């Protein structure tokens, strides 16, 4: 069984930890690797390496910094296939889905390469007699990223390319469930010419997270994961004087108006609800058809599509959906279906009944797509983020009732509306209290040059990720006011200067 290690100073680093965590291939249900888990001493050494590298890296010209990232980008394009296969083997998502994840990550690197433009400051001359003022953006120091299992490549690349381009050094703590992609990226950054210590990887669990949160030399923490953990990381981080952006959970609704193109809705909804087995924070998990006529038609058309989903190993190009990431998570998803049935919802298509006996993959963590109708807002299956291939139908009688439903939920990550009416779409975009909105777009994930983030309990902190929000998060402003001696002496001034 191969062992996955930390990465420090451009080399693998075993550390002195005695604990490890199994890394499963969810398609076959077997642990094929193990990842070493850090000790506090390991964290201290890795952070020390990043701290030692920061003074030189932060003063390296921004052009030289982004040239390293530009070469890294070329390596990613050339080897995207290799990274996608690693992701697929540890997460269980299909190869095409994993490959798409890599491409979306590369887009952030492409944005980060533009840092010479984003790092430009401001200058004002003669703000007073012979006095000029200028503002610059400078790096923070050592930054850390704590990332989830479902996007082991893309989410780290929401963070570290911009952090590195703006002059910070970085410590990545990937999920112990899917850790291998982090090491590939670290090796390729070194190959691209990144100096030792600038990018490092520490493998671990909650103990490692706490060590990072409490470390005095970590200046900023970026996190993506569940809301309870996001809130914990935010509160602990700011108590320790750190800058924190912590993205949490989601319950994304799709409103389907009576004038919507139902064929377009069905096609969009299938991919948005069941792609990546629903293990996406931007998955559509709630369909909100307006009127029972639309709801009945929607359910009728969805049933055969869901039953026809091709579920199998991610190595099979015909698979629409691979396994869930762990057996524990599959059981958790099934528990939500149980609770919905107990609470009075109608299980129209039950994914628990999927025949898991795929030849050669009998122990894999597979489940089928599930459709639940007549869900109500008081049900646990609606309140919580299920994070699986489960689509709930909540019927509403009007546009306003649909809006009120969405506003009543604690999560506000993403949402969508399908309509042919321009006024309805525009009003929805303006009225809805959600961070990311799609109009006839099922998963409105912004491109890298915009920023990603929700509202309410879907985010903790003031800055969204990547785009200009990422630049603002990983930099701080310094303003310098300058006057040079002219031979003219002025009397001391004791009142507030007004220039």
CA dist 73 and 194 (Å) reads: 13
Contact 195, 167 (CB under 8 A): no
E-only strand ranges, 309-467: 346-349, 370-373, 390-393, 411-412, 414-418, 436-439, 455-456, 459-460
Residue of 299, 284, 278 lying closest to 254 (CA atoms)? 284
| Contact assessment for residue 365 and residue 325, using Cβ atoms and an 8 Å cutoff | yes
Catalytic residue selected from 281, 299, 309, 471: 281
- SS3 string, 228-248, reads HHHHHHHHHHHHCCCEEEEEC
Give the residue carrying structure tokens 């004791």: 494
Q: Is 153 a catalytic residue?
A: no
Q: Encode burial over 174-183: b for 16+ CB neighbours within 10 A, e otherwise.
A: bbbbbbbbbb
Helix ranges (H only) for 360-463 are 380-383, 399-407, 422-431
**Alpha carbons 84 and 76: distance in angstroms, whole number:** 10
User: Helix, strand, or coil here: 269?
Assistant: helix
* Active centre residues (catalytic): 281
């Amino acid at each position: 069984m191969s062992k996955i290690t930390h990465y420090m100073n451009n080399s693998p680093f075993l550390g002195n930890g005695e604990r490890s965590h199994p890394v499963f291939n969810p398609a076959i249900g077997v642990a094929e690797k193990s990842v070493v888990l850090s000790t506090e001493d390991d964290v201290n050494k890795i952070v020390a390496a990043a701290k030692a590298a920061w003074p030189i890296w932060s003063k390296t010209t921004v052009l030289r910094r982004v040239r390293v990232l530009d070469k890294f980008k070329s390596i990613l394009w050339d080897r995207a296939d290799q990274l996608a296969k690693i992701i697929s083997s540890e997460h269980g998502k299909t190869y095409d889905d994993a490959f798409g994840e890599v491409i979306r990550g590369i887009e952030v690197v492409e944005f980060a390469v533009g840092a010479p433009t984003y790092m430009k400051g401001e200058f004002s001359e003669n703000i007073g007699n012979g006095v000029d003022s200028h503002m610059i953006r400078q790096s923070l120091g050592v930054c850390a990223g704590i990332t989830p299992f479902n996007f082991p490549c893309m989410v780290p690349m929401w963070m570290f390319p911009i952090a590195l381009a703006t002059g910070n050094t970085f410590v990545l703590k990937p999920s112990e469930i899917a850790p291998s992609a982090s090491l590939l990226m670290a090796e390729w950054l070194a190959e691209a010419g990144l100096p030792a210590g600038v990018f490092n990887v520490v493998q671990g669990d909650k103990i490692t997270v706490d060590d990072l949160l409490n470390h005095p030399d970590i200046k900023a923490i970026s996190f993506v994961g569940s809301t309870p953990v996001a809130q914990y990381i935010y509160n602990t981080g700011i108590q320790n004087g750190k800058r924190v952006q912590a993205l949490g959970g989601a319950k994304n609704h799709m409103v389907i108006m009576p004038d919507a193109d139902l064929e377009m809705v069905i096609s969009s909804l299938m991919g948005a609800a069941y792609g990546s087995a629903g293990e996406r924070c931007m998955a559509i998990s709630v369909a909100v058809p307006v009127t029972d006529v639309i709801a009945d038609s929607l359910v009728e058309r969805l049933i055969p599509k869901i039953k026809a989903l091709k579920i199998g190993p991610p190595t099979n190009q015909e698979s629409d959906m691979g396994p869930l990431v762990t057996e524990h998570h599959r059981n958790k998803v099934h528990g939500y279906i149980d609770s919905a049935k107990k609470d009075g919802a109608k299980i129209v298509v039950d994914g628990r009944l999927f025949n898991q006996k795929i030849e050669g993959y009998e122990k894999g963590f597979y489940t089928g797509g599930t459709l639940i109708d007549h869900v109500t807002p008081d049900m646990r299956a609606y309140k919580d983020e299920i994070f699986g291939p489960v689509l709930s139908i909540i019927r509403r009688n009007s546009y306003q009732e649909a809006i009120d439903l969405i506003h009543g939920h604690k999560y506000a990550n993403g949402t969508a509306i399908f309509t042919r009416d321009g006024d309805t779409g525009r009003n929805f975009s303006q009225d809805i209290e959600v961070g990311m909105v799609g109009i006839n777009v099922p998963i409105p994930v912004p491109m890298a040059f915009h920023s990603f983030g929700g509202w309410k309990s879907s985010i903790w902190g003031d800055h969204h990720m990547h785009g200009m929000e990422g630049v603002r998060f990983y930099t701080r402003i310094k303003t310098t006011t300058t006057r040079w001696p002219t031979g003219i002496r002025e009397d001391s001034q004791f009142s507030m200067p007004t220039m």
